[in-house]
Amino acid sequence: MPSFLTAFVRSSRLVGIVGTGLLAGHNLALSYTVIPALIGPNITADRLAITWEKILHRADTLVVPLIIGSTVAFLEGGYRAHVHDTPAATTFLGFTVAKQLVIAAITTFAVVPYSVIWVSPVTNRLSVIARNVEEKELMNETPYVSEEVVHKDVQTWGKQTAFRGMLYGTAFILGLTAI
C-alpha cells in the first residue's frame, strides 16, 4: 500500500518535470517561432524593439515562479530519494535517482546566473531602445533606431533564449528519466 510520502515524492518530481517542460517549450518556442517571425523586411527597427519588449514582459511573467518551483521540487525529490531509495539503484545514466534529481535542480537554476551575466546586457539595450522609441512617439518625433543594432540584438536574444530552453530541456529529461 503506497504511503502519503511515496505519493508526495512522485508529485514533487512531477512538479519539477512539468515546470521544466513548460519552461523548455516556452523558451524554444520564442526562439524558433516568434523571433524569426518578427525579424523580417516588413517590420522596422523601432516597431521591432517595441514588439520585442511587449513579448518579453508578457512571456516572462511565470518564468521565475516556475524556476523556483521546479528547482525546489527536484531538490525535494532528490532528498526523499536519497533518504528512502536503495543507494545501489541507478538510472540508465548511471546516477542514483537522488543525484540525478539534484543535477536536474542545478541545471534548472543555472539559467538564473546565465541570464544575469549574458542575457541581461542584451535585454537592457533593447529595453532602452524601446523606451526611447515610445518617448519619441509621445512627443510626435520620428525616432532614429539602427536597424542593424536592433536586429542583431534580437537575434542574439533569440539564440540565448534557445540555450536557456536547452538547459530547461536537459533538466526535464533528467527529471523524467529519474522516475
Cell, residue 155: 537575434
In the chain, % helix, strand, coil (3-state, to 5) comes to 80, 0, 20
In 12-111, DSSP assigns E strands to: none
Would you state the pLDDT for residue 49? 94
Provide the pLDDT for residue 119: 96
Identify the pLDDT of residue 114: 98
Counting DSSP H helices and E strands in the chain, the numbers are 8, 0
Q: Which residue in the block uniquely carries the three cell numbers 523601432? A: 46
The amino acid occupying position 141 is E
How far is the CA of 174 from the CAs of 16, 83, 123, 165, in angstroms?
Answer: 10, 19, 29, 14
Cell 522596422 found at: 44
pLDDT along the chain (179 residues), means of 10: 52 90 96 90 90 89 94 92 76 86 96 96 96 92 91 96 97 90
pLDDT confidence of residue 26: 95
Amino acid at 118: W
Please list, in sequence order, all residues whose beta carbon lies within 8 angstroms of the beta carbon of residue 172, skipping any fewer than 6 positions away.
17, 20, 21, 24, 104
Q: What is the residue whose three cell numbers read 528547482?
A: 71
